[in-house]
Amino acid sequence: MGQKVRAVIAKAKGEPVSLEVIEVPDPGPGEVLVEIQACGVCHTDLHYREGAISDEFPFLLGHEAAGIVESIGEEVSNVAPGDFVVLNWRAVCGECRSCKRGRPWYCFATRNASQKMTWEGVKLSPALGIGAFAEKTLIAAGQATKVDPAASPAAAGLIGCGVMAGLGAAMNTGRVSRGDSVAVFGCGGVGNAAIAGSKLAGAHKIIGVDIDAKKLDLAREFGATHTVDSSQENPVNVIRSLTNGNGVDVAIEAVGRPETYEQAFYARDHAGTVVLVGVPNPEMQIDLPLLEIFGRGGSLKSSWYGDCLPERDFPMLIDLYLQGRLDLDRFVSETIGLTEIEEAFHRMERGEVIRSVVLL
Ligand code: APR
Ligand code: ZN
Ligand code: ZN
């Protein structure tokens, strides 16, 4: 049984991805088969194909997706065939030490489908346990979150990864609230989502920092009240001068580099919060005076996937989008076909797009 569908896979380290026919099993207990409508192209997909995440090739890429549930296995009660769902990579287990302590957004045993999709008999490793550059994909039931079907699939799918990471860095991890001042370092998809999230949460001053003037234009569209081109000006000085010499309540790093982390560290007010949502590479180091870490107080946090809980956050964010309060469409720079992912990787590397989204 099972079905054959077209899908984009990365066969070997550094090799261009290719469109192949793969086999998708029928859903077993606790599994769901989703017909994919849209899937965003994310840095993580490129990192998989570069072998930077693991060497378990071949990978089935794609993970920022929305679609329609085609069929469900036994014991699935959260979704039904025909439901419009956004896919997520945090299907919490309910049983690990974090879930048991009431902090499921740190779940250490998130669920994936038990059966494997295959290509020419070889088991595929789906990106982030999803694998959605495919006409259909098999996931664990908890990886599908039902949302209002009035939302556009291209926009809704982005909630499943980078946009959620940024929104959640501000709203969940940074706990931005009414009256806060916020600075966001890096105004790509993640940083601009952090700006949009800060605006939704009621921040009165939102300062976007980037080295690319086009990204700063976008930052203003998403809600930045001020922007700083840090290739031209010292962002710490500008942020201080915009905040009566104090610094911001919440400084969000959405690049993943030591120099921007250091800027975020020094740009925050006493007892403020730094949130690191950008992902550093293993070689990066940072040297900070311990006395400054002590003396400035507050908290230095990391945000994994925006500390989101998909069932709590996705339907709420889609509702805000449908009410016109969160412009998810603006994150979609272009829509492409399944054969155009390599070109989209290049555009992403050149910083030309927020998100390219594959429509199926
Ligand atoms: N200072 C300020 N901004 C910078 C700097 C710098 N030194 N270097 C790069 N940037 C900006 C880029 O110009 C770009 O606008 O950071 C932004 C990064 O955006 P994207 O490349 O679109 O990446 P994005 O998808 O937003 O992800 C950002 O978050 O989830 C992580 O892995 C992801 O580490 C990555 C980060
Ligand atoms: Zn758990
Ligand atoms: Zn992603």
Q: What is the pLDDT of residues 156-173, one digit of tens each?
A: 999 999 999 999 999 999
Q: What residue ranges define each of the domains in the chain, with the CATH number in brackets? A: 3-160+327-359 (3.90.180.10), 166-304 (3.40.50.720)
Return the ligand 1 atom nearest residue 263 CA: 1
pLDDT at position 63 is 98
What global pTM score does this model have?
Answer: 0.97
- For ligand 1, the distance from its centroid to the CA atom of residue 201, given in whole angstroms, is 22
Averaged pLDDT, 131-142: 98
Confidence of residue 106 (pLDDT cuts 50, 70, 90): very high
Averaged pLDDT, 278-292: 95
Averaged pLDDT, 127-146: 98
Averaged pLDDT, 121-133: 97
**Residue located nearest, by CA, to atom 30 of ligand 1:** 278
**Number of the ligand closest to the Cα of 219:** 1
Q: Residue 179: helix, strand or coil by DSSP? A: coil
Q: What is the pLDDT of residues 75-85, one digit of tens each?
A: 999 999 999 99
**Would you say 218 and 187 are in contact if contact means Cβ atoms under 8 Å apart?**
yes
Please state, for a pLDDT cut of 90, what percent of the chain lies above it.
99
Of 44, 145, 225, 260, catalytic: 44
- CB 189 less than 6 A from any atom of ligand 1: yes
What's 65-129 look like in SS3? EEEEEEEECCCCCCCCCCCEEEECCCCCCCCCHHHHCCCHHHCCCCCCCCCCCEECCEECEEHHH
**Residue located nearest, by CA, to atom 10 of ligand 1:** 186
**Residue located nearest, by CA, to atom 2 of ligand 1:** 210
Confidence of residue 268 (pLDDT cuts 50, 70, 90): very high
Question: Mean pLDDT of all residues in the chain?
Answer: 97
| DSSP codes joined into one string, 273-313 | EEEE-S---TT------HHHHHHH-SEEEE-SGGG--HHHH
Q: Is the pLDDT of residue 111 over 90?
A: yes
Q: What is the pLDDT of residues 287-332, one digit of tens each?
A: 999 999 999 999 999 999 999 999 999 999 999 999 999 999 999 9
- CB 186 less than 6 A from any atom of ligand 1: yes
Query: Among this protein's residues, is 349 annotated catalytic?
Result: no
Q: Is the pLDDT of residue 58 over 90?
A: yes
- Single-letter amino acid code for the residue at 167: L
Confidence of residue 1 (pLDDT cuts 50, 70, 90): confident
